[in-house]
Chains A and B, each alone.
Chain A
Amino acid sequence: MAAAAMVPIFGQNVSDKYDLVPDWTSREVSTGTTIMAVEYDGGVVIGADSRTTTGAYIANRVTDKLTPIHDRIFCCRSGSAADTQAIADVVTYQLGFHSIELDEPPLVETAANLFKASCYRYREELTAGILVAGWDRRKGGTGTVYCVPIGGMLVRQPVSVGGSGSSYIYGFMDSNYKPGLSKDQCLELTAAALSLAMERDGSSGGVVRLASISEEGVERRVLLGNQLPKFSTH
């Protein structure tokens, strides 16, 4: 979501009027963002931009919003940077512990439910929109994508986008996604969608980070500015 201030309006007794410190130093760090996850037969492709903003200043122009939760499970973070980092750390611990207890790799659905549990319970205090994606052995070994938006809903989707930049690419997604795409087609689709969103959304930008998760493992890729697919003619 766009850089929303989570700080309550009253009760802050640190004076703002005569401060030499400009406003953006006290704004919360938001991941602005465009994130995306697509299922294909045998795995998932996930992608994100790399911009973190505090107000109008870009705090980190090379952020990695694709966070590993387990060996074959990743999450894409959008919303407040602090909230999503904290939630991801908690879920990473919980899932790791659960996996050791089970003595086998955890299911993506389990990871998604752990995210849902934290996001829903503390929904009033948190601003976190998360996509959980990964590969597990269910149904012969497929990729799955779960969407946990702000508020803590949990829904399984074959393709999902999130973040402030997602609003600009729903049309592109609806018209260009077809079930049964191959891994390379998914990677192209993700790269194209993210480039389009980054072009239009001020809170998204930087480089495109892609990852494909399958039984073989995780393949990470970075598309730098000059490697992004081009769409405008001028």
Chain B
Amino acid sequence: CLRLFSGIWSQLCKCLFKSLFFLTITFIFRNALLEGEANKVGCSLPAARKTGTTICGVVFKDGIVLGADTRATEGMIVADKNCSKIHYISPNIYCCGAGTAADTEMTTQIISSNLELHALSTGRLPRVATANRMLKQMLFRYQGYIGAALVLGGVDCNGPHLYSIYPHGSTDKLPYVTMGSGSLAAMAVFEDRYKPDMEEEDAKRLVRDAIAAGIFNDLGSGSNIDLCVITKGKVDYIRPHDEANKKGVRTGDYKYKRGTTGVLTKAVTPLALEVVEETVQTMDTS
């Protein structure tokens, strides 16, 4: 049994580095080819949708507060004014994602799925360190081509934990972290006002202010502020916590009443629509 186990595990370790080599080669050739073909026809490849973003997290007395803005950009255009950047990993662990929107979405979903299976296998609530390991090992395998910069936070049997995870697979375990294009603005707020063992309201206010700094000082971040407060046994997903940028209310009504435009003639043509094909497929419920 030990021999089989060691065999599988050594394969896994070799896998970590082997796939490194293969993936690098395949990606380089494929992408270069695609780009060449596209440029020949005269168009450029579409820009991946990046979340621009300000995300941050802080450890307080009883748990973790995660915060994020809600703007998703496609080049210079805002693709989504109210996207959700705080992703579910497990009942006690949530993850904010910056970088390429698709990458953060899919990576967190994959690890969430794997972690749920792992939890069923162990019979225990998953630990943040496990989620961190899974994420860093996957991102390292893809050598930074998966553009996902994550702030992972949660509360497990060993207390609250907060990690920052970079696209190349390096992680840092810290009491407060910020990521994304607005991270410098948010970090400035943290470095000024962070204190260890804060109360929940203070922590929420601090995170809210940090994200606000990112929203108002960084072009890649904007719209509302989402918060996620994780404590032992309870998760408060507050979306939105603060609508920092409310749209102005129109003062006039531009709808015209019926009859404003005079009708000269009216012709009604009924369209003969009939049922062309109807199929019934019964389910075998025996």
> Which residues of A are at the interface with B, using a C-beta cutoff of 8 A?
6-8, 10-15, 18-22, 25-26, 28-29, 52, 54, 57, 59-60, 62-63, 80-83, 85-86, 89-90, 93-94, 97, 118, 121-122, 125
Contacts and interface: CB of A to CB of B under 8 A. Distances in A.
Contacts of A122: 17, 20-21
Contact of A14 (B73, B143, B147): B147
Interface of B: 6, 9, 13, 16-17, 20-21, 24, 27-29, 31-32, 34-35, 44-45, 47-48, 50, 52, 73, 75-76, 98-100, 133, 136-137, 139-140, 143-144, 147, 149, 164, 166-172, 174, 180-181, 183-184, 218-220
A11 B28 contact: yes
Given A11-B32, A13-B31, A15-B47, A21 B52 contact: yes
A10 B28 contact: yes
Contacts of B29: 11
A90 B15 CA distance: 11
Contacts of B147: 14, 26
B76 A29 contact: no
A24 to B, nearest CB: 9
Contacts of A18: 47, 75-76
A81 B166 contact: yes
Given A10-B32, A11-B28, A86-B140, A28 B172 contact: no
A94 B167 CA distance: 25
A90 B47 contact: no
A62 B174 contact: yes
Given A14-B147, A97-B6, A86 B32 contact: no
B13 A93 contact: yes
A13 B98 CA distance: 18
Contacts of B171: 85
A85 B173 CA distance: 13
Nearest to A63: B172
Contact of B35 (A13, A59, A60, A80): A13
B275 to A, nearest CB: 47
5 contacts: A20-B73, A20-B219, A25-B149, A59-B166, A82-B140
A59 B47 CA distance: 26
Q: Which 5 A-B pairs have the closest CB atoms?
A: A81-B170, A20-B220, A82-B168, A82-B170, A82-B169
Given A20-B52, A59-B166, A94-B13, A125 B35 contact: no
A125 B170 contact: no
A102 to B, nearest CB: 14
Given A12-B31, A57-B184, A81-B168, 13 more contacts: A6-B168, A15-B75, A19-B50, A20-B50, A20-B73, A20-B219, A25-B183, A26-B147, A28-B166, A80-B168, A85-B140, A86-B137, A94-B13
Contact of B28 (A8, A54, A89): A8
Nearest to B53: A21
Given A20-B181, A90-B16, A11 B31 contact: yes
A15 B31 CA distance: 13
A80 B166 CA distance: 12
Contact of B180 (A25, A121, A125): A25
A29 B166 contact: yes
Contacts of B98: 25
B260 to A, nearest CB: 44
A85 B24 CA distance: 19
A22 B214 CA distance: 13
Nearest to B45: A13
Contacts of B172: 52, 59-60, 63
